[in-house]
Chain A
């Protein structure tokens, strides 16, 4: 019984590897992950792989405007996806647009997660009036659709990259705060936290290196869904003309620019940026969907 040799469990599988192998069970999710990686690479290296710099006005020729997909430019370049009203190559425009859309979505998502996590942990650990105040604020915010809150905020704040990121953070933080408070309240009663308290570890250390890592699985799931939501919301707001300024065209603005040409049958200006947006959002949702199934203990057989 008290022998010093400790027998290792038969299968020593790291949690991460188990996660990866369970994730790989669904082929659709794997496809989503692959596509998402490609999109991220495209966004990251957009200036290197774009056939044209869409913001260098000296490279644009107004004679090339509104050309259908596959046509050749004056100097022999092929516009695989056509050109927009200014003679801009749509493919390059989409690469750069992806860059803007993803940057805004991911950055605001990460900021919202940090703010939400801080607020949720404060609510769970401080309790009392602070908790009531924070959670009432969360409830109030969650009872309104995101687009409405964003609409009010942007109407109040005005336009700009910083303003839309701020609006997206304000819209999203409450989701994270609610989840992390719930999880933290459960986790802090677990045995390992008691053990850590018995060891005399400081409160911040328990919170940040013991409780927080155990709260991460639901946060990751929420995070993927939220980033997809943020990208879609930003595109919608830009489409309505109250999002990003014209100097920083995201996919939403590209689509909006094509609206006026759509009725005369020039579909490609709106169509292709929309496809890019759709594929991005779908691949994020596919990954998030599978993550939820993998990380949800209620579905374990």
Chain B
């Protein structure tokens, strides 16, 4: 186990390094930040001073090494626009995004697993067909349009829920979140449901597919033949075996939700990382873009590692070793 984790961590460092090169080079190719950040009527002297101050006069590889050296001590550069450390900007926005993604994951699990189980166990009933049809709609709805429709119906027409911002932020056990105030909760509902819907549909379909395949397996037939109650067959034999694909997908989906929050945050003006990255792309704020992408890569690597470790806990057949292809 320890060997596995150490090896995976070493792999992760390599991936991070590769990604840092790709991201750094890619982001550098976007354009010349000098033209955007320095006012056009600045004279030659001011321009050069600014270029030197931002470190843009060094050769590319030297800029990369400076970047890498600073990254190692947690300094990913200063935002050109906000003139603040990029990493601090990211960390300021991260709680809002994580809060949104977390709420969405919990919502989609609460809705998805029971509905998927039902649809898998009784595939022929009208309710099941309805659930599946609904899941296809939920799966197919483009997040951005669905968000617009939520705003139209619940904010403009009915006026029930606010459609922009994060609302009042409460604090509980030292954690600051809008989930702890009534106003904050009202603000979180629309964006979270918007983010959760597609995910819930995916979980329904995955659970149903898993149940249908598992029910045909010999061990389920045997458990039935043994005379076990159907509750035990479903609760122990079926559920345990569909947990494996579920954990994988949920793990990956958390990562996906954090990324897709870009869209939801833009529509609902949610002050998270996603909105920050869109703004940074538009303003060519390179350090923030690089910092955001590196943080996302780091986040994904951690999530993947947790998923792999969870595997071995759920399924003792999975041995945590380097599988030789």
Say yes or no for A265: interface residue by CB 8 A criterion: yes
Interface of A is mostly: helix
Interface of B is mostly: helix
Beyond A28-B133, A271-B149, 15 additional pairs, beta carbon < 8 A: A28-B129, A140-B18, A147-B260, A147-B262, A151-B262, A232-B140, A262-B148, A262-B156, A265-B157, A278-B142, A281-B141, A282-B136, A282-B137, A286-B136, A298-B213
Say yes or no for A177: interface residue by CB 8 A criterion: no
Chain A 224-268 interface 0/1 with B at a Cβ cutoff of 8 Å (1 = within): 000010001001100111100000000010010011001101010
A145 cross-chain contacts in B, Cβ below 8 A: 255-256, 259-260
- Give complex CA distance A135, B323 in Å: 14
Interface residues of B (CB under 8 A from A): 15, 18, 23, 26-27, 29-30, 129, 133, 136-137, 139-145, 148-149, 151-152, 156-157, 212-213, 216, 252, 255-256, 259-260, 262-263, 266, 277-278, 281-282, 289, 293, 296, 300, 304, 325
Q: Once the chains bind, are A285 and B15 in contact (CB under 8 Å)?
A: no
Q: Once the chains bind, are A278 and B300 in contact (CB under 8 Å)?
A: no
A28 cross-chain contacts in B, Cβ below 8 A: 129, 133
- Give complex CA distance A151, B293 in Å: 11
User: Smallest Cβ distance from A32 to chain B, in angstroms?
Assistant: 9
Specify the chain A residue showing the minimal Cβ separation from B26.
A156
Q: Once the chains bind, are B140 and A228 in contact (CB under 8 Å)?
A: yes
Q: Once the chains bind, are B144 and A143 in contact (CB under 8 Å)?
A: no
User: Smallest Cβ distance from B325 to chain A, in angstroms?
Assistant: 7
Say yes or no for A49: interface residue by CB 8 A criterion: no
- Give complex CA distance A88, B237 in Å: 59
User: Smallest Cβ distance from B226 to chain A, in angstroms?
Assistant: 23
Q: Once the chains bind, are B148 and A255 in contact (CB under 8 Å)?
A: yes
Given A144-B300, A255-B145, A298-B213, A152:B259 Cβ within 8 A:
no
Interface residues of A (CB under 8 A from B): 28, 131-132, 135, 140, 143-145, 147-148, 151-152, 155-156, 228, 232, 235-236, 239-242, 252, 255, 258-259, 262-263, 265, 267, 270-271, 274, 277-278, 281-282, 285-286, 289, 298-299
- Give complex CA distance A28, B129 in Å: 10
User: Smallest Cβ distance from B14 to chain A, in angstroms?
Assistant: 10
Q: Once the chains bind, are B27 and A265 in contact (CB under 8 Å)?
A: no
B29 cross-chain contacts in A, Cβ below 8 A: 156
Specify the chain A residue showing the minimal Cβ separation from B260.
A147
- Give complex CA distance A145, B27 in Å: 18
Q: Once the chains bind, are A147 and B263 in contact (CB under 8 Å)?
A: yes
User: Smallest Cβ distance from A171 to chain B, in angstroms?
Assistant: 12
Name the contact of B144 in the complex, choosing from A155, A242, A255, A265 (C-beta under 8 A). A255
- Give complex CA distance A120, B303 in Å: 27
Specify the chain B residue showing the minimal Cβ separation from A280.
B140
B148 cross-chain contacts in A, Cβ below 8 A: 255, 258-259, 262, 270, 274
- Give complex CA distance A265, B304 in Å: 44
- Give complex CA distance A277, B129 in Å: 23
Q: Once the chains bind, are A236 and B300 in contact (CB under 8 Å)?
A: no
- Give complex CA distance A143, B157 in Å: 40
User: Smallest Cβ distance from A244 to chain B, in angstroms?
Assistant: 14
- Give complex CA distance A235, B144 in Å: 9
Q: Once the chains bind, are B30 and A140 in contact (CB under 8 Å)?
A: no
